[in-house]
Amino acid sequence: MYSDALIFLATLLDSGFLLFTSIYFIVTISDLECDYLNAASCCKRLNSFVVPEVASLSVSCLLLLIGFRWLLFALNVPMLAYLIHRYYNVPSGNIGMYDPTEIHNRKLIQYHMKESMVKAANHVVFFFIYLYCTIYSLVAAA
């Protein structure tokens, strides 16, 4: 029983990190939109969090798979698949998922902002699901 609580606690912490990164993306993109940041420093900041975000969500999915939480695993896989798809389909010549030369030319700021909002909403929902599951598994174990 305590193994379930540990799995949910780890996924809760992981979800908290993912929520932080989503909020960081929203703030950074809005700073770029308001011209508080230049495109190069904004994209450098955002690209530094792409791999940790994918790795963190992968760890959450792996923990849910190990803990036989099939429904939660199945609900997390689409976001993981989307992030992996975006990571591996970066156009050649770009410095990363966020490229300073294209972010203004193609009006990608609005797209990245919407994407970050959807990711933040997803991570908020799962944060509270994992919080509930952690509390429930601790109460059930006692």
The tokens of 26 are what?
Answer: 């929203």
For the chain, give the mean pLDDT. Answer: 93
Percent of the chain whose predicted confidence (pLDDT) is above 70 = 99
Task: Report residue 112's pLDDT band, with 50, 70 and 90 as the boundaries.
Answer: very high
15-19: long-range contacts, CB 8 A cutoff, minimum separation 24 = 15/60, 15/123, 15/126, 15/127, 15/130, 16/127, 17/52, 17/56, 18/53, 18/56, 18/57, 18/60, 18/119, 18/123, 19/120, 19/123, 19/124, 19/127
The pLDDT of residue 11 is above 80 = yes
Per-residue pLDDT of 23-45, as tens digits, reads 999 999 999 988 899 999 999 99
The pLDDT of residue 106 is above 70 = no
Per-residue pLDDT of 127-136, as tens digits, reads 999 999 999 9
| pLDDT computed for residue 142 by the predictor | 76
The pLDDT of residue 107 is above 80 = no
Total number of domains in the chain: 1
Determine the average pLDDT of the residues in 102-122: 89
| pLDDT computed for residue 83 by the predictor | 96
Per-residue pLDDT of 70-102, as tens digits, reads 999 999 999 999 999 999 999 888 888 999 888
| pLDDT computed for residue 1 by the predictor | 61
**For residue 82, what are the domain limits?**
2-141
